[in-house]
Amino acid sequence: MPRSLAPLFALCLILLAPLAQASYITRALNKPVPGGVAVVDLGPGANAPSARFDGKPVLVVKEQDNWLAIVGIPLTQKPGTATLTQGTRQLPFNVGSKKYPEQRITLKNQRQVNPNPADLKRIDRELAEQIKAYRSFSPTLPSNLILDKPVNGPLSSKFGVRRFFNGEERNPHAGLDFAVPAGTPIKTPANGKVILIGDYFFNGRTVFVDHGQGFISMFCHMSKIDVQNGQTLRRGEVVGRVGSTGRATGPHMHWNVSLNDARVDPAIFIGAFQP
């Protein structure tokens, strides 16, 4: 190599080193934006460390010799520095920015836009049930972090979309929608345990599956539920059938993924994330 090029070659090696050293999990899942996932290196150790984000326990897995925290970042998180806590250690990581598109939906049932007082009481009760399920944290490690699609079909609505129902803004879209016919089987994307089943005002027929350590899938608007509460599922087992129950304009499969009680973009886990 010409002596004049040696410094440039050395600089390239330095710049490329972090990329070469990044773990497979980091390359696949580290999308640190609001509604995304941060993979934080906790270092080596014989025993699994515990870590918390916003006071909630996070999923910790081992890859080769290192422990990694798989941190769900809520949509409400402001871009900038965030902090993971591991015992007395404070581990900062950067949250980037991401702009989500808008979606305008027309509903014939005005109560699904502006519920009446009786509806609101029901909605509050149902929300409490679902929040409790999202905050479940079992010791079991997930069978897989790269997930299968629950159904095969095109996406009809992406995660994080700002939604306007009959011109009025409501909560952002907290999952992915797949455009598939009614009756299509919905399969669990990883091993898990059914921790909640309900028929809810907004979500219709709904199933929560705990994959382990706060890694949770939620399927809703189902026409039929094929599992029971407490049932253990193997990856690929059918949890129910696609429908249009609850607040839905037609049959589709809605899938939420939650980490440490933060709803995150399921596209990250199926290799379909778009910055």
| In the block, residue with structure tokens 């079992």 | 138
Q: What is the pLDDT of residue 23?
A: 85
Least confident of 107-116, 148-157, 209-218: 107-116
Dihedral sign (CA 30, 31, 32, 34): negative
Report the pLDDT averaged over residues 233-254: 95
Contact 192, 130 (CB under 8 A): no
Question: Does 193 or 117 have the greater pLDDT score?
Answer: 193
Structure-token pair, residue 151 = 């159904």
Q: What is the pLDDT of residue 105?
A: 63
Q: Which DSSP string do the residues of 94-150 spell out, in sequence order?
A: EE------EEEE--S-GGGTS--HHHHHHHHHHHHHHHHHHT---SPPPS-SSPPPS
Domains of the chain by residue range: 3-95, 102-270
Contact 137, 180 (CB under 8 A): no
Sequence-distant (≥ 6) Cβ neighbours of residue 27 within 8 angstroms: none
- Write down the pTM of the prediction: 0.86
Q: What is the pLDDT of residue 43?
A: 94
**What is the chain's mean pLDDT, rounded?**
88
The CATH H-level (homologous superfamily) assignment of domain 3-95 is: Peptidoglycan hydrolase domains (2.60.40.1590)
Structure-token pair, residue 49 = 């460390």
> How far is the C-alpha of 141 from the C-alpha of 68, rounded, in Å?
13
Q: What is the pLDDT of residues 150-197, one digit of tens each?
A: 999 999 888 988 756 555 555 678 899 999 999 999 999 999 999 999
Residue 106 scores a pLDDT above 50: yes
Report the pLDDT averaged over residues 45-62: 95
The CATH H-level (homologous superfamily) assignment of domain 102-270 is: Glucose Permease (Domain IIA) (2.70.70.10)
